[in-house]
Amino acid sequence: MCTYTTIQTAVDGSAKGAGGAWLHVDQATVYFDHPVHASAEHTLNIDLADPAKGPSARVAIELTAASARALVQAINDALAVVPEGLTV
């Protein structure tokens, strides 16, 4: 069953896109649905994009729920040990 819940948030960063070119990303779209490519029934899908540059300025990620939770934990663990002044 699909939830059709989609969450968008502003981000500020870079991602390596098609052909190995770096692109600025300022939007993340997150949703749990059927994947396009991953071999799982449902995945947490994350699209990092620069909508102003069109649909090709996008990097897509499809993770199993367990992998997505592990990634969230790894991000929190990495940020927890960074000196406070560097995360501004």
pLDDT attached to residue 82: 96
In order, the DSSP letters of 12-71 are EEEEE-GGG-EEEEEEEEEEEE--SSSSSSSEEEEEEE-GGG-TTSEEEEEE-HHHHHHH
Q: Is residue 34 part of a domain?
A: yes
pLDDT digits (tens, 9 = 90+) for 10-45: 999 999 988 888 999 999 999 999 999 999 999 999
* Residues of the domain holding 48: 6-87
Look at residue 75 and tell me if it is in a domain.
yes
Total domain count for the chain? 1
pLDDT at 19: 81
Residue 1 lies in a domain: no
Q: Is residue 37 part of a domain?
A: yes
**2 pLDDT above the threshold of 80:** no
